[in-house]
A and B are shown apart, each in its own frame.
Chain A
Amino acid sequence: LRRNVEDFTGPRERSDLAFVTFDITADILNEKSGLRTFCNKILMLIFNIFDWNVKQLFLYLSAEYSTKNNALNQVVLWDKIILRGDNPRLFLKDMKSKYFFFDDGNGLKGNRNVTLTLSWNVVPNAGLLPLVTGSGHMSVPFPDTYETTKSY
């Protein structure tokens, strides 16, 4: 779902604005790729990401794509803070993006290669601050035309 609107928060030209809805199912207790990266860094056998030194996880969904204007664009659409002790199983349905998905220009129209990935920033009680990207990702192809009638 995409519209071309005047972006009042940015430079005063018309830019592509996208609205994305998504479902996230993440079982953080068993996220294997995060587990492996963590193990490599700390050389300890950990059974889940939330070990004794993890204070919180900053989870975010970002869209990555290329346009004529810019070789690489990354936009964070949604984020969530998970504190130690919170329920580690996420099952969010039909979420709307938290932040406006503005492109720098008109590069979203017809863009077939927009990739959504889920990543997280591990915040320890003390120590290193790693940024880990989840192993799954999904491509969202954008339509060739603008949406003029539907409201969001």
Chain B
Amino acid sequence: AMDLFGDLRRMNKRQLYYQVLNFAMIVSSALMIWKGLIVITGSESPIVVVLSGSMEPAFHRGDLLFLTNFHDDPIRAGEIVVFKVEGRDIPIVHRVMKIHEKENGNIKFLTKGDNNEVDDRGLYKEGQNWLEKKDVVGRARGFLPYVGMVTIIMNDYPKFKYALLAVMGAYVLLKRES
């Protein structure tokens, strides 16, 4: 540990700037990859974490879902969609139970969680009986179990999030290219 601080003192300004730039490059690359995913999948949130047990036993809290939201992808009964109720920020992952689609492509549909007894009408906005394409964040195409637990822990225990960020920041800033 003493070596680390010795290193810090011996670093001159140029090296410090180099380390900071390195760090900034890593952050920018990560952001670019995320934005790229948004563009490729057409979804504003191509990777979501399952927050509730309403789709058990298929998905459990903490599982990760990969979404696509191609404009020409029709919504069909049986598909698993991630949607947001107007005015609320929480994405909900449920299955499409009913669709009624007009000739011009306008569609209204009803969803229900596999583990729920009743459909989602109680979750929709007051007076709203159907979901529309605009409410859809994406269609679930792939899934990884457990991986999203990290996000849930970081949300529930913010101190853990700060500690993790501090450790990552310290590692990147102090790592010396040999």
Contact = CB atoms under 8 A, between A and B. Distances in A.
Interface string B98-129: 11111100001000001000010100000001
Highest count of chain A CB atoms <10 Å: which of B100, B108, B119: B100
Interface stretch (A20-28, A30-38, A121-129, A138-146): A121-129
Interface stretch (A44-52, A55-63, A87-95): A55-63
Interface residues of B, number: 28
Nearest to A105: B100
B58 A76 contact: no
Interface in A106-124: 119, 121, 123-124
B99 to A, nearest CB: 5
Nearest to B76: A74
A75 B143 contact: no
Contacts of A131: 76, 78-79
A72 B140 CA distance: 22
A62 B77 contact: yes
B78 A11 contact: no
B159 interface: no
